[in-house]
Amino acid sequence: MCGICGVASLAGEAVDPTVVAAMSATLVHRGPDDDGLHVDGQVGLAARRLSIIDLEGGHQPIASEDGLVWVVQNGEIYNHEELRGELERRGHRFRTRCDTEVLAHLYEERGQRFVEDLRGMFAIALWDARRRRLVLARDRFGIKPLYYRLEGGKLSFASELKALLAQPGFSREIDLDALEAFLAFNSIPAPYTIFKEARKLPPGHLLVLEGGGARIERYARPQPVPASEVRREGIEELAEELRERLRDSVRAHLVSDVPVGVMLSGGVDSSTLAALAAQESGERVNTFSIGFEERSFDELELARIVARRYDTNHHELVLRPDAAELLPELAELFDEPFADSSALPTFLVSRLASEHVKVALSGEGGDELFGGYYTYVADLLAPRVGRVAAALRPLVELLPSSSAKVSFDYKAKRFARGAHLPPLERHHAWKEIFSPDARDELLGRSGRGRIDPLDIYRARYEETAGAEQLARLQDVDMGIYLVDDLLVKTDRASMANSLEARVPFMDTVVAELALALPTALKVRGFQKKRLLRKAVEPLVPREILEAKKQGFSIPAAAWLRGELLPFAREVLAPENVRAQGLFDPAAVTALIERHVSRREDLSRQIWGLISFALWHERHARAPGPVAA
């Protein structure tokens, strides 16, 4: 695991190594064990290394035998030993056991198509000195981040935005389209970033710089199979196949020269990983859990059941964290506005894990692949009861707002507001943060972006025509919410603590089956993850299989009506909002008052505005007049 960065001149001008070194210095938390820099005229590559495989020999940048291909990588290639064997049989000679060296030799054999053979999570930069070609690549699931900037005749790239900000002349002008998307989603989807000058390379894509120009192309697109090609075997047969595919993935993700642990939330996904890791590891597995004093948000007892069953070396903390202290810290480590409140417990459990291991398995992706969200139940229920729900909406809106986790009133109001809409629109309505009308109130017409954020969903959705309806909606979540929210959260929270997080569900071996499942084996009635639960019955305690989904969340609604309210009022005070020059202070104050009065749970909206304000204070210049 590493942080990578670099600069390349489109015109062939020499790169200033001090600029690349300054960019690299911002990424030391991603790789405190080693650093390296290679400059070849018009290109400079740098890496910060967290040593996981081949602790002594894995220094980056790393080159081919003849020194004409140079590579830096952030991530892990789980089939590197298999690829190495094939390459050695073709005459390649290796100096290290590092997976990054495999990339240089594989490129020599396959050219730009080398990425198609990789099983793993990665962001790669490869310099082909013979062809004067720079290749950037991001893994097909978007597990590892890669940002880039094309400006002033130069291409620069990095694992985090903060490295791009270290360049002289970087403009911090806010992209209003990205801001619009942030208000809709609480995160910023690719290819946007909050800054106009920077973009994210989408998952499964290459960026190739050669001949004085740059092009972006897709090399992989995991997606659901056509409805006519879904798997039709019985549930018992498919459950056995899935169990073995999960075992194979966990076995691959345990490959390391340092100890590997498991982030154990007490849910089905992380409990499955802990069970398989305990069975496949030759050592006693470390597990890590965070609990909260608020009982409805605490899953520690479920995590303890798994830890006891598999005799893990279990570590846990019971917290009532000081959000007013931690939120500014989170704003510092996230380079753009990010308002998923589960970043707070993810950061804390990563910090706990980093005291004992360098690598930890995490359960991201299980819900999107196997149908784990209540929104999927709502998607299937809405066509049958949508009209009734719409008719009852005036009564539902009168329900008082609770501070409990995903309370009945919260779910009922969301369902009633969206059930009558077309499939994609209602799926978004279940999760939408600020509606278009609410964004109008916040931004005013002159402050709005040019895009409808839902167009990002529509573009993804259109690519899967012919697949089953639920599978298409899951694919939207997998390609946007998972990539630009959950995986961003896990990457930043873990890497801020110099911890490598691995996600075994996001593996081609597992996803290949998940993307071919019929709807009934994922969601039926109020049952979710039907096949996954069946597959892990022999592994996971019954109490966990039968428990309601909790999610790795915090009691934000209660905090924002209690001890965190003074902090929220301070951060979002009218004079502070006015100084940002983006939002209407009166609209922000009205949101807070509506939440405090319990007329509605607006904790996600308020949390988002707090996150934006703290980010803006640290990373953005004060904007001038907002363009129409």
Residues carrying an active site annotation: 2
CB 372 within 8 A of CB 527: no
Residue 559 burial (C-beta neighbours within 10 Å; 0-12, 13-18, 19+)? buried
| Integer Cα distance of 428 and 567 in angstroms | 30
Strand, coil or helix: 215:
strand
Q: Which of 591, 590, 568, 572 is nearest to 582 (CA)?
A: 572
Dihedral over Cα of 304, 367, 543, 541: its sign: negative
Is residue 148 within 8 Å of residue 6, measured between CB atoms? no
3-state secondary structure of 320: coil
Alpha-carbon distances of 406 from 322, 375, 393, 409, rounded to whole Å = 22, 12, 18, 8
Q: Which residues pair with 286 in a beta bridge?
A: 261, 313
In the numeric block, which tokens belong to residue 255?
């490959």
| Location of structure tokens 């994210």 | 200
Spatial neighbors of 336 by CB under 8 A, at least 6 apart, are: 161, 178, 188, 193, 194, 195, 615, 619
Beginning with the edge strand found earlier in the chain, give each strand of the sheet holding 500-502 in spatial order. Answer: 313-319, 286-292, 260-263, 359-361, 500-502
